[in-house]
Amino acid sequence: MSMSDAARTTTTRTRTPPKRTFSDVELDLDQLAESFDVPPSTSSSASSAMAIASSSASASSSSTFASPCPPHPATILITDSPASRSKATLLLTSKQKPKHPHPRTSMQHPSSSAPIKVGVLGATGTVGQRFLTLLAAHPWFAVDALGASPRSAGKKYKDAVSWKQSTPIPQGVRDVVVRECRPENFAQCKIVFSGLDADVAGEIEEAFRAANLAVFSNAKNFRRDPHVPLIVPLVNPHHLSIIPQQQALFSPALTSGFIVTNANCSTTGYVIPLAAMEKAFGPLECVMVTTLQAISGAGYPGVPSLDILDNVIPYISGEEEKIEWETLKILGGISTKESEVTSADGQQVVKKEVKTFDMHAAHPLRVSASCNRVPVIDGHTECVSVRFARRPPPSPQQVREALAAYTPEAQALGCPSAPCRAIVVHEEPDRPQPRLDRYYQDGAGVSVGRVRQCQVLDVKFVVLANNVSIGAATSSIINAEYAVLKNVVQL
Ligand SMILES: NC(=O)c1ccc[n+]([C@@H]2O[C@H](COP(=O)([O-])OP(=O)(O)OC[C@H]3O[C@@H](n4cnc5c(N)ncnc54)[C@H](OP(=O)(O)O)[C@@H]3O)[C@@H](O)[C@H]2O)c1
């Protein structure tokens, strides 16, 4: 596509807000906070309200359920398709009530009007706390049981946890007694979300799967298992198709138990733009990524302050290998071939279709990662350079447009926790920044900026992802929503 074509299909909108009074802005703030996921830090002061109000247009998503995208206090690229043009909403005023109710409170899951009971394992940890914050307002899932270590079991949640979120502990769980992570303590649940420490996650998650519970895990233990999908919900939720094969490994076959894993938080952030590029321009050949990872990625209490303040630590154990390997499983497909396998009772050899993760084998992809821990609390920033297989490669402008237009299946299908913009593309040369951009859409999407020519590979850019939201809890929740919509979870 030429630059002139590009100019016809997209527009960069620099905002010129209409003149407004201060009281208009104060009135609008309540509505904005009510209707969108504006974090307390941006919704609680008049100056933040000004910042929110000064951004104008918001694109709509193709989701049937989604509300308009929240305004963003920065210049971002918005695809100017006829659909988004016709639905684009301008600045809300005190007299304009949002037309769509908040999706999280309005939407019922398709199978039943009853809430789906869920449990949270590792509920006291960094990821566990994020789970509880997100699940408190969830339209389908109701938290029924909390699990943590024997140190916490038997205590009320409020006494067991060292709460580090900027919002209070959700009322519904404050006085809930934390249980040991044994399946019999979660018997009422259909789904468990796991934020367990990797030292214990393997055995515990295995026991929950064997007890026919659907496990959505953040731990690394099963990511390399050839029968367990490694899913970034804005990229490859279709990998859930491996689940029947996973269940068939058991004798008798599991009816509703399975494990789905999330990726490492750094992998998650950067595979979303990589997937958008592959969708638009075909396979990538090489990727170089340098990460600047937040402290919260190491859990609580994490890296000692004397190590991380005034410092950068150029090593995170096992992280580079995880990124390099996980990228291939996530961006690759699933191949099916007929193989001879032993029947579940071990009595005979039968021919069966076997699914395998192809690890991007049709177009080998080389990934090189360098990981650094930096003194940022939340939000992993990653500097990425890519080379495309296709020659000539797309221009940076074409890449920008493809990223801004990317609509993942989870969003199109109507998963209530999916962001309405998977990728926000910034035009300012100094964005994205963790402090300014990590909470946009409650951390459910990623922010990309500085898309430009690379003198060694083809194109380079910066991506920011909230490591505890889309990098962990939000991903698990969208994975579970998608599995419910696709009837993979037995209700
Ligand atoms: N933090 C991130 O950004 C991030 C992102 C993606 C993935 N992950 C992965 O998600 C998992 C959780 O990470 P995190 O940062 O939340 O860690 P964390 O803050 O250290 O929390 C660990 C949780 O595991 C529980 N636990 C520890 N030992 C246990 C035992 N023997 N039995 C049952 N529960 C036990 C802890 O309970 P107590 O409080 O009772 O000790 C706590 O609830 C890890 O596998 C991590 O690699 C983290």
More confident residue, 96 or 265: 265
Question: Atom 29, ligand 1: which residue's CA is nearest?
Answer: 149
305 is written with which tokens? Answer: 């302050």
**Ligand 1 neighbour 229 (Cβ under 6 A):** no
Cβ(125) – ligand 1 distance below 6 Å: yes
DSSP class of residue 89 equals: B
DSSP 3-state of 299: coil
Q: Whose C-alpha lies nearest to ligand 1, atom 40?
A: 149
**In the chain, pLDDT over 70 holds for what percent of residues?**
79
CA of 31 to the centre of ligand 1 (A): 36
Which runs of consecutive H residues, i.e. helices, occur in 346-459?
396-405, 409-413, 434-437
Average pLDDT of span 337-361: 86
Check whether 29 has a pLDDT greater than 90.
no
Q: What is the pLDDT of residues 192-216, one digit of tens each?
A: 999 999 999 999 999 999 999 999 9
pLDDT of residue 59: 32
CA distance 59 to 86: 9
Which atom of ligand 1 is nearest the CA belonging to 130? 16
Query: 337 versus 482: which is more confidently predicted?
Result: 482
The Å distance, Cα 443 to ligand 1 centre, comes to 20
Per-residue pLDDT reduced to its tens digit, 410-454: 999 999 999 999 999 999 999 999 999 999 999 999 999 999 999
Q: Is 195 in the pocket of ligand 1 (CB under 6 A)?
A: yes
Cα 489 to averaged position of ligand 1 atoms, centre (Å): 24
Q: Which atom of ligand 1 is nearest to the CA of 467?
A: 3
**377-416: pLDDT as tens digits:** 999 999 999 999 999 999 999 999 999 999 999 999 999 9
**DSSP 8-state symbol, 117:** E
* Residue 158 and residue 174 in contact, taking contact as beta carbons nearer than 8 Å: yes
59 CB under 6 A from ligand 1? no
Name which residue sits closest to atom 17 of ligand 1, judged by CA: 299
pLDDT at 16 over 70: no
pLDDT at 112: 65
Q: Does position 83 have pLDDT exceeding 60, yes or no?
A: no
pLDDT at 178 over 80: yes
Cβ of 74 below 6 Å from ligand 1: no
For residue 443 and ligand 1, the question of a CB distance below 6 A is answered with no
Strand 423-426 versus strand 446-453 pairing type: parallel
Residue 349 binned pLDDT confidence (cut-offs 50, 70, 90): confident
Q: Is the pLDDT of residue 55 over 90?
A: no
Q: How far is the CA of 429 from the centre of ligand 1 (A)?
A: 36
What is the reported pLDDT for 480? 98
> 127 C-alpha vs ligand 1 centroid, how far in Å?
7
Mean pLDDT for the stretch of residues 144-172: 97
Q: What per-residue confidence (pLDDT) applies to 69?
A: 78
> Which of 134, 196, 222, 316 gets mutated to test ligand 1 (max ligand atoms within 8 A of its CB)?
196
Mean pLDDT confidence for 30-59? 31
Q: Is the CB of 197 under 6 A from ligand 1?
A: yes
Across the range 230-255, mean pLDDT stands at: 97
Q: How many CB atoms lie within 10 A of CB 324?
A: 17
pLDDT confidence of residue 487: 95
Contact call for residues 281 and 238 (beta carbons, < 8 A): no
Residue 265 neighbours by CB under 8 Å, 6+ apart: 293, 297, 380, 465, 467, 468, 471, 472
- pLDDT at site 204: 98
**Contact 250 CB / ligand 1 (< 6 Å):** no
How far is it, in rounded angstroms, from Cα 73 to Cα 54? Answer: 7
Which residue's alpha carbon is nearest to atom 33 within ligand 1? 149
Q: Is 369 in the pocket of ligand 1 (CB under 6 A)?
A: no
| 107 CB-near residues (< 8 Å, 6+ apart) | 65, 139, 140, 414, 416
Q: Which of 121, 151, 169, 197 to mutate to test the pocket of ligand 1 (most atoms within 8 A of CB)?
A: 197
Q: Whose CA is nearest to atom 3 of ligand 1?
A: 297
**Ligand 1 centre and the CA of 36: distance in Å?**
29
Nearest residue CA, atom 25 of ligand 1?
122
Q: What does the alpha-carbon distance between residue 233 and residue 425 come to, in Å, rounded to a whole number?
A: 19
Cβ 180 under 6 angstroms from ligand 1: no
Average pLDDT, the chain: 83
* pLDDT given at position 82: 41
The residue nearest atom 26 of ligand 1, judged by CA position, is 149
Q: How far is the CA of 194 from the centre of ligand 1 (A)?
A: 8
Cβ–ligand 1 distance for 103 under 6 Å, the answer no
Q: CA 457, CA 472: separation in Å to the nearest integer?
A: 30
Report whether pLDDT(94) > 50.
Answer: no
Q: Which of 69, 109, 31, 120 is nearest to 445 (CA)?
A: 69
Q: What pLDDT shows up at residue 274?
A: 98
Instruction: State the pLDDT at residue 101.
Output: 34
Active-site residue list:
265, 380
The model's pLDDT over 256-315, given as tens digits with 9 standing for 90+, comes to 999 999 999 999 999 999 999 999 999 999 999 999 999 999 998 999 999 999 999 999
d(CA 418, ligand 1 centre) in Å: 24
Three-state DSSP state, 409: helix
Ligand 1 mutation pick, 127, 177, 192, max ligand atoms within 8 A of CB: 127
Check residue 77 and give its pLDDT. 82
Of 71-80, 105-114, 232-241, the range with the lowest mean pLDDT is: 105-114
Share of the chain above pLDDT 90, in %: 73
